[in-house]
Amino acid sequence: MFFFKVLNCTAPLRTEASIAAGGAEIENARAEGKSVAYQTRMQQKSGVKGYSLFFAPSPAAREAYPHLKDLWDMGLTAVPYDTMHLVLLNVVPHLWRLFAGLKLVNKKKDEDYIMPKVTVARIGMELRGARRTVPMAQAMSLRNIEVHHKSFKAIDWMHFILCSGEVLLAGRIPSDYFDIFMALSRACRLPFRPRGVLKTEIEAIDKDLKYFVSSYYTKIYRGTTERLPLCLSTIATLLDIVPLLWACGPA
């Protein structure tokens, strides 16, 4: 974790305890049926959106994942960022916005990785149509991504990067960009599972993440001034996942 000194800042520093308390407060408001506006104000005030498996686990999560106790006991300094939020709520949605033409650079709509609108609509319909073919728990993540992508949760994006995305994007984006997507997908399939990872598997994760990051900056960002909006720090931050696995173990 990086610490910065902010001049003339009188706000109290956030601690592990304050983050956990904020998460519990948000979750309680949600459970009590408070309005979305009320919950949003609380989130903005505390800077916390709810429980987090790595930063502010719920009592149920602590009971379900006892093997993470050592990691939680290390505190926030040992865990620079929440891998789930980094990948599933930042990088994966960003890729979808690129492929769906929702994030343009200088209003250019002719990028070779952008799918036609009719293709994006078809993908949404295919996802929605698949709901009736799977158990209810999985069907919750099979919403029309064209319409509901803004309200997708981490679990929805996890289903997309680990399962449905490979089928939905195959043949619909150029192979170079599909390979970039699949490198991230392969990397995610190992750490995002209940059991641990072997040394050879961590090395495989490292290889795929390095390929993803280098290919993203080469083929999508391309190192030009006009494309600076695509030069995201969250992409480079993926390279810290493997060192964290070596230092802290799987989560």
Query: What pLDDT score does 76 carry?
Result: 58
Query: What pLDDT score does 6 carry?
Result: 52
Q: What is the distance between the alpha carbons of residues 104 and 134, in angstroms, rounded to a whole number?
A: 34
Are 29 and 42 in contact by the 8 Å Cβ rule? The answer is: yes
Specify the range with the lowest mean pLDDT, choosing from 99-103, 188-192, 199-203, 204-208: 188-192
For residue 160, the surrounding DSSP H or E stretch is none
Residue 187 to residues 28, 129, 202, Cα–Cα distance (Å): 34, 28, 9
Task: State phi, psi for 52 to the nearest 5 degrees.
Answer: -135, 130
**Band of residue 53 on the pLDDT scale cut at 50, 70, 90:** confident
Token pair, residue 35, equals: 């309005």
Query: What pLDDT score does 74 carry?
Result: 67
- When pLDDT is averaged across residues 201-219 and rounded to a whole number, the result is 96
Q: What is the distance between the alpha carbons of residues 200 and 205, in angstroms, rounded to a whole number?
A: 9
Global model pTM greater than 0.75: no
Query: What pLDDT score does 2 carry?
Result: 41
Residue 72 to residues 9, 13, 156, Cα–Cα distance (Å): 28, 19, 25
Residue 184 has pLDDT above 80, yes or no: yes
Q: What is the distance between the alpha carbons of residues 222 and 230, in angstroms, rounded to a whole number?
A: 9
- When pLDDT is averaged across residues 52-63 and rounded to a whole number, the result is 80
Q: What is the distance between the alpha carbons of residues 144 and 128, in angstroms, rounded to a whole number?
A: 5
171 vs 195, higher pLDDT? 171
What mean pLDDT, rounded, does the chain reach? 86
User: According to the per-residue pLDDT averaged within each range, which of 25-34, 114-123, 188-197 is highest?
Assistant: 114-123
Q: What is the distance between the alpha carbons of residues 93 and 156, in angstroms, rounded to a whole number?
A: 10
- When pLDDT is averaged across residues 126-143 and rounded to a whole number, the result is 85
Could you tell me which residues come within 8 angstroms of residue 121 by beta carbon, excluding any fewer than 6 positions away?
146
Query: What pLDDT score does 8 carry?
Result: 67
Long-range contacts of 16-19 (CB under 8 A, 24+ apart): 16/55, 16/75, 16/76, 19/48, 19/55, 19/56, 19/76
Q: What is the distance between the alpha carbons of residues 182 and 166, in angstroms, rounded to a whole number?
A: 7
Query: What pLDDT score does 1 carry?
Result: 39
Residue 142 has pLDDT above 80, yes or no: yes
Specify the range with the lowest mean pLDDT, choosing from 13-27, 123-137, 179-193, 208-222: 13-27
